[in-house]
Structure 1
Amino acid sequence: MAVLKVTFTKTKRDKLAQALWILNWISVGTGVILFSLGLFLKVELNKRWELMADTDIQYVPNMLISVGLIACAINFLGGKICYDCVDTAKFLRWKLIMLPYIVCTFFFTFCVLVGALMCYTMHWELDESLREGLSKAMKYYKDTDTPGRCFLKRAVDMLQIEFQCCGNKGYKDWFRIQWISNRYLDMSHREVVDRLRSNVEGKYLMDGVPFSCCNVNAPRPCIQHQISNNSAHFNYDHHTEQLNLWPNGCHQVLLDYYCGIVHSIGLTVLITWLFELSVLTGVRYLQTSLENMLRLGDPDCESDGWLLENSFIETARINLNIIKTLSKNNHVDTANNGDPNINVPSTSKARYGPDNVPPQQISAAS
């Protein structure tokens, strides 16, 4: 029994073909949108690549770019096919191509769905990449004279200014690392030497933060050194000075920023998948109704169209039997090592008779 069978008149078939022609051209536009979204996400990730760990998070934009290009090609071909299907004579040229086209389009729409799901699962990769990348960037913040790291100070400062954040999880992260280079420390000063010696790893740690952590909305000049020392500043209590530094950590702020982008892209891709699925459904109805019309032999007659000729269970059983048959044939070929005459002795025995003597030998003996 056919699944979701619909009866089409000639007028309905022509209108369906015309509507699908328009929808396929719209789908070409959605392919361009997917390509643009993937390119946009790739550019956004590359903007701050130095603040991310070396993890493979480019697979999502690469997937979207590939799917967008394939969507343009497939829907352009689909528009041409649907345009020609209005004419029965032209449909005959596409008759053998339509079923492979539908199968390829089905797998393509599945890839679009996978791309949408990947956008929502990218959160975990982004979280880990940003956590490790920001920690590494803050660790090398002071290495402005080291090749390959000299740009990190500027990158971190610009990040904290642009996103109004401080540190990885908060401003106290700067208390646990040395972010001032030794070349800017006065080694003749006793306090500096004592601070270096008091640390097990010989680092110059202090309760201070870079200038980019300062909150521009603070009513007083920014206090970025001796932050936890109330007696070092007049009329100051670091527990109540909420506006002195940016309160949020850059990891969460940047993660929210990227997650907002990828979730919006994921929603767009999901809507695109639903649209592509509806177009594919229409093309399947058009293909089956036109093939049934050709079987009846009358271009003006009514014909049935369906999604599946048999039920889901029957279709799955047929495909499973085909796969089993192919696997058995492949197993036999492998066992015979590709030799088609490996069973010749048994057939020869049946052909020559019970004495197993070839006719040539009998005639020679006589």
Structure 2
Amino acid sequence: MAVLKVKFTKNNRDRLAQVLWILNWVSVVSGVVLFSLGLFLKVEINKRWELMAERDIHSVPNMLIATGLVACGINFLGGKICYDCADTTKFLRWKVLMLPYIMCTFFFTFCVLAGALMCYGMRGELEEALDQGLHNAMRYYKDTDTPGRCFLKRTVDLLQIQFHCCGNSNYRDWFQIQWISNRFLDMSNREVVGRLRSNVEGKYLMDGVPFSCCNFNSPRPCIQHQITNNSAHFNYEHQTEDLNLWSSGCRQALLEHYSSIMQSIGFTVLIIWLFELWVLTGVRYLQTSLENVLRQGDPDSESDGWLLENSFVETARSNFNIIKSLGKCNQIDTANNGDPNMDVSSRAHYGPENVLPKQLPLAS
């Protein structure tokens, strides 16, 4: 029994072909949108690639770009097919290619759905990349004279100012690394030398943060050195000075920034997927209804259209039997009655009982 069978008149078929022609051209525009979204996401990631560890986070924008390009080609071809299918005689040109086209379009719609799900599942990998990348960027913050790292200070400062954040998780992350270069330290100062010698790794650690961590909404001048020393500043209590420094970490700020972008892109891709699935369903109905018209021989007659000619179970069983029969044929061809050099025509000629010649009696 056919699945979701619908009866079409000639006018309905012509109208369906015209509507699908328009929808395929709209789908070309949706392909351009997919390409643009992937390109936008790739640019956003590349803006701060120095703050991310090496992770496979470019797979999502690359897939969106590739899917958008394929969408433009498939839907352009689909528009041409639907335009010709308005005339039953022109349908004969595409009759053989219709089923492969529908299969390719089905695979394409699956890729669009996979792209949408990848947008929502990217948060975990992105958080790991940001965690390790920001940690490394803070370590190399002081290396302004090292090739390849000389711009990290500027990048981190702009990040903290733009996103109102400080450190990786919070401002205390700066207490655990040396973020001031040794060339800016006064080695004649006993306090500096003592701080360097007191550290096992010879690092100059202090309870201070870069200037970019300062909250410009604070009513007092920013306190960025000796933050935990209340006696070093007048009328100061570091546990209650909430406006002195940015309280949130940059990893969380960047993660929320990218998550909002990913959610918007994922929702848009889901809408495009539903639209493409709708167009694919219409093309399938058009194909089956026109094939039934050709079987009847009357182009003006009514015809049935369906998604599947048999039920889902029967279709799955028939496809499984086809695959199973192909496997058996492959085994028979490789076996070849014990003789790999014997072809099928030879076996048909001799028969199973004549594969080996009979032994002649010995002459007396």
RMSD: 2.1
Deviation digits for residues 79-110 of structure 1 (CA, Å, limit 9, x no counterpart) = 00001111111111111111110011001101
Equivalence map 1:84-123=2 (5 Å): 84-123=84-123
Q: Secondary structure at the match of 1:295?
A: helix
Equivalence map 1:40-119=2 (5 Å): 40-119=40-119
What is the one-letter code of the residue matched to 1:33? V
Question: Distance in 2 between the 1:255 and 1:354 partners?
Answer: 75
Question: Distance in 2 between the 1:23 and 1:204 partners?
Answer: 65
Question: Distance in 2 between the 1:353 and 1:169 partners?
Answer: 79
What is the one-letter code of the residue matched to 1:283? V
Q: TM-score, normalised by structure 1?
A: 0.94
Question: Distance in 1 between the 2:63 and 2:355 partners?
Answer: 66
> Which stretch has the larger CA shift, 216-225 or 279-288?
216-225
Q: CA 1:46 to 1:305, structure 2 compared with 1: closer, same or farther past 3 Å?
A: same
> Which stretch has the larger CA shift, 60-69 or 236-245?
236-245
Question: Distance in 2 between the 1:16 and 1:284 partners?
Answer: 11
Which residue matches 1:363? none
Question: Distance in 1 between the 2:230 and 2:356 partners?
Answer: 113
Contact 1:38 1:62 (C-alpha < 8 Å) held by counterparts: yes
State the Cα distance separating 1:332 from its structure 2 match: 3.4
Q: Secondary structure at the match of 1:145?
A: coil
Which residue matches 2:291? 291
Contact 1:50 1:152 (C-alpha < 8 Å) held by counterparts: yes
Equivalence map 1:166-181=2 (5 Å): 166-181=166-181
State the Cα distance separating 1:267 from its structure 2 match: 0.7
Deviation digits for residues 100-144 of structure 1 (CA, Å, limit 9, x no counterpart) = 100110011011111111101101110100000000100111111
Gaps of 5+ in 2: none
Equivalence map 1:181-260=2 (5 Å): 181-260=181-260
State the Cα distance separating 1:354 from its structure 2 match: 11
Which residue matches 2:315? 315
Which residue matches 2:350? 348
Q: CA 1:159 to 1:354, structure 2 compared with 1: closer, same or farther past 3 Å?
A: closer
Q: CA 1:210 to 1:282, structure 2 compared with 1: closer, same or farther past 3 Å?
A: same
Q: Secondary structure at the match of 1:149?
A: coil
Contact 2:165 2:253 (C-alpha < 8 Å) held by counterparts: yes
Q: Secondary structure at the match of 1:310?
A: coil
Identity %: 73
State the Cα distance separating 1:263 from its structure 2 match: 1.1
Which residue matches 1:145? 145
Deviation digits for residues 291-333 of structure 1 (CA, Å, limit 9, x no counterpart) = 0011011111000000000000000001101111222223334
Q: CA 1:31 to 1:350, structure 2 compared with 1: closer, same or farther past 3 Å?
A: closer
Contact 1:164 1:215 (C-alpha < 8 Å) held by counterparts: yes
Please identify runs of 4+ aligned residues in structure 1 that moved more than 6 A: 349-355
State the Cα distance separating 1:149 from its structure 2 match: 1.2
Q: CA 1:335 to 1:159, structure 2 compared with 1: closer, same or farther past 3 Å?
A: farther
What is the one-letter code of the residue matched to 1:162? Q
What is the one-letter code of the residue matched to 1:76? F
Deviation digits for residues 340-361 of structure 1 (CA, Å, limit 9, x no counterpart) = 4389589537787998489xxx
Tell me the number of residue pairs that the alignment of Structure 1 and Structure 2 aligns. 359
Question: Distance in 2 between the 1:66 and 1:129 partners?
Answer: 24
What is the one-letter code of the residue matched to 2:310? N
Q: Secondary structure at the match of 1:7?
A: strand
Work out whether 1:158 is the aligned partner of 2:158. Answer: yes
Contact 2:347 2:355 (C-alpha < 8 Å) held by counterparts: no
> Which stretch has the larger CA shift, 169-178 or 317-326?
317-326
State the Cα distance separating 1:56 from its structure 2 match: 1.2
State the Cα distance separating 1:146 from its structure 2 match: 1.2
State the Cα distance separating 1:145 from its structure 2 match: 1.2
Equivalence map 1:255-294=2 (5 Å): 255-294=255-294
Q: CA 1:340 to 1:79, structure 2 compared with 1: closer, same or farther past 3 Å?
A: farther
State the Cα distance separating 1:147 from its structure 2 match: 1.3
Q: Secondary structure at the match of 1:304?
A: strand
State the Cα distance separating 1:335 from its structure 2 match: 4.4
Question: Distance in 2 between the 1:178 and 1:104 partners?
Answer: 56
State the Cα distance separating 1:339 from its structure 2 match: 3.6
Question: Distance in 2 between the 1:97 and 1:250 partners?
Answer: 53
Q: Secondary structure at the match of 2:245?
A: coil
> Which stretch has the larger CA shift, 148-157 or 346-355?
346-355
Question: Distance in 1 between the 2:75 and 2:342 partners?
Answer: 45
